[in-house]
């Protein structure tokens, strides 16, 4: 997550730097560092930000479709995917091992490179 996306996310959430620091359990200096690009955003903070944005999106649009419907996944792919197994189609980006682009992603960085371009995550970026 780069500094522009982080700043945009904070603004979409309607939070001050201090408020977001409290929600994320970090310091205001960390938030400032992420927004200025002095610090890279750790993966656990990125996940929390995306989670908060997804809940805001869900609140504003409760009829959000699950990823397997958006991506039109065939049953054989769905049945192997943790998003389907746990019925968390709007949070597919949250867990590793989902079958995105026809293969399971092994780590957060690799997964998020795909998810940032995906129509499931894009609505709240």
Residue 29 is predicted with a pLDDT of: 98
- Average pLDDT on 81-97 reads 87
In this prediction, residues 61-65 reach a mean pLDDT of 76
Share of the chain above pLDDT 90, in %: 44
Which phi and psi (to 5°) does residue 103 adopt? Answer: -150, 150
CB distance 81 to 38 below 8 Å: no
pLDDT tier at 123, thresholds 50, 70, 90? low
Mean pLDDT of 26-50: 95
Alpha carbon separation from 92 to 26, 116, 119, 123 (Å, rounded):
25, 12, 12, 14
- Average pLDDT of the segment spanning 55-75: 84
Distance CA 58, CA 64 (A): 7
| Rounded-to-integer distance, Cα 94 and Cα 111, Å | 9
Q: Say what the pTM is.
A: 0.77
Confidence (pLDDT) at 125: 64
pLDDT of residue 8: 94
CATH class of 1-62: mainly alpha
* Neighbouring C-beta atoms of residue 113, cutoff 10 Å: 10
Asked if 57 and 64 count as a contact pair (C-beta separation under 8 A), the reply is: yes
Over the chain, what is the mean pLDDT?
A: 88
- Our CA dihedral for 13, 19, 21, 22, rounded to 10 degrees, sits at -120
pLDDT of residue 124: 62
Query: Where do you find CATH 1.10.260.40 in the chain?
Result: 1-62
pLDDT of residue 116: 82
């Amino acid at each position: 997550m780069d500094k522009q996306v982080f700043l945009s996310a904070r603004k979409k959430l309607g939070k001050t730097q201090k408020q977001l620091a409290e929600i994320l359990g970090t310091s205001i200096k960390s938030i400032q560092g992420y927004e200025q690009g002095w610090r890279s955003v750790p993966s656990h903070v990125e996940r929390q930000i995306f989670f908060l944005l997804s809940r805001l999106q869900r609140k504003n649009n409760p009829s959000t479709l699950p990823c397997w419907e958006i991506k039109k996944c065939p049953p054989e792919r769905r049945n192997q995917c943790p998003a389907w197994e746990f019925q968390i189609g709007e949070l597919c980006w949250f867990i590793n091992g989902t079958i995105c682009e026809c293969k399971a992603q092994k780590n957060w960085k690799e997964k998020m490179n795909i998810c940032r371009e995906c129509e499931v995550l894009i609505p709240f970026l």
